[in-house]
Amino acid sequence: MVGTGNAMGVPVTLAQAYEMIFGYVLLNDWSARDIQAWEYVPLGPFRAKVSATTISPWIVTCEVLEPYREMTPPRVQPLLPCLREPEAYNQDLALQILLEPAGAAGATSITRTNQRYTYYSSVQQLTHHAIGGCMMQTGDLPGSGTISGRTPDSLGSLLELSWNAHRPARAGRR
C-alpha cells in the first residue's frame, strides 16, 4: 500500500521506494484461470482478471515488519544497477492457504510458502514501476503476483497446485 507518492515523470530509488510504502495487505485477484490460460497467448491476462479482487481487512505497517527483513534470493541474471539492493528489502513472512470444502469438519492446509521466495522485493517492484516516470499516489495498491516456493508443497495458486489443471488439487494433500 503506497503511503506517499512521487511526481509524474520522476523515477525513485530503492531507498525512496522503501519510504513510500506504508504497509502490506493480503490480496487475491480471484482470476478465472481457465480463461486466463486461454487468453495468455497472445493477449496476456485480460477478461480473466475481472472476476473479483479482495484484500485483507488490515494493513501491516513497514515498522511492524522491520525485524523480518532479509535479502532477496540469489539471481540467475544480474539486476539493473537501479534494482541492486544495498540492504535487505524483502521479508521472511510465512504464508499458508487453507481450504474448507463444503461439509468438511474443518479447514485443511493445502500449501505453505514464504514471501522470501519472491524474486523481486516490493521495494524493487515499486522502483521498477516508477523507473519510467510512472506516478504513484497515496492509496495505490501494486500487487506482487503469486508467491510460490521451490517445491510442489509450496506453490501459491490453485492453478499451480493442480499442475495447470492436469491434476486435481485436494484438501489434505501436500
Q: Which CATH superfamily is domain 14-161 in?
A: Fumarylacetoacetase-like, C-terminal domain (3.90.850.10)
Confidence of residue 40 (pLDDT cuts 50, 70, 90): low
- Given a contact cutoff of 8 angstroms between Cβ atoms, the answer to whether 111 and 153 are in contact is yes
Domain ranges of the chain: 14-161
Res 173: pLDDT:
42
- HSE of 32 in the Cβ direction (CA atoms, 13 Å)? 10
H/E stretch holding 113 reads: strand 108-114
Confidence of residue 14 (pLDDT cuts 50, 70, 90): very high
- pTM as predicted: 0.83
Residue 133 contacts by C-beta under 8 Å, 6 or more apart in sequence?
8, 9, 10, 11
- For residue 32, the tally of other CB atoms under 10 A from its CB is 16
